[in-house]
Structure 1
Amino acid sequence: MSRLTHLDETGAARMVNVSDKDATKRTATARGTITLSAEALEAVRSGSAKKGDVLAVARVAGIMAAKQTPALIPLCHALALSSASVDFELGDGDITATATVTCTGPTGVEMEALTAVSVALLTIYDMVKAVDRTMVIGQIRVLDKSGGKSGDWSAA
């Protein structure tokens, strides 16, 4: 097992020093789902949710969350993101959110993509919880990442 990079030799938490790493183009994609009742899904699909356009608000929330990741995850580096996108796929009993984040920098953007997906799904929950409080958020994971010293990686 490799050494944990966010702990120093005494076991104390630390932010990893990336000042000697090359700035390269880095991209990460993450995905997650929310399962919901047919009634809640129809409210999203038809745009009839009382709080407004659920997917439009969730998309913006996810993008904003990607930009705020270092404020939420204590040891994340602040990165100048080049792009962040959040897309949705409506299934029979669920909605899948997929986020892709890109930057040119010394460290990856996996946490930004995961944060974008998480907040987008939480926003969907918030906007339709009056219709369905039994919704379940899950299966949040990194699908792939590219760039940097370790190169490309894919879950597939």
Structure 2
Amino acid sequence: MGNCQTRDVVAAAVIQHPDGKVEKLYWPATAGEVMRNHPGHYVASVTFHISGDVRNTQGAVSGSRRLICMRLLKHKDLLLIGKVYRLVTSQEVAKALQNRKQERFLKVQAELMKQEQQGAGTDGCVQAEKNETERQRNSRHWRPSLQSISEAKALQ
């Protein structure tokens, strides 16, 4: 005899609400239908990544670390049975997008600062010479190396 409870859990799409409430859908549904039932919310697919043993500062093994990845679903995406989904408020989505935008800006700004520091570390004259050499190298024209007919006959 099988365990009916286990079968019911697997045969449902689980939706976690922001307040901790859990909703199970036993039929196929799209993300758009769920969002219509819960205005002001988005549906996100939840994926758990379990890493190996984590060592603390004393070197003792403290167990495994669980990382959660969430991906927002489009209205037409189908909620799969046996998967976990989470309702995310539109304020949380806006905040996450703003944080991502700020992180990108800070990363680009740090790269620019690093390039400026590398350029300022060398002498101005040495840098000017390098620029001039690079300009000359790029401006050289290809000149064909043709032998005259008489030279070609003499070599044979």
Whose helix fraction is larger, Structure 1's or Structure 2's? 2
Q: TM-score, normalised by structure 2?
A: 0.20
Greater relative CO (CA pairs within 8 A, separation 6+): 1
- Which protein shows a greater Rg? 2
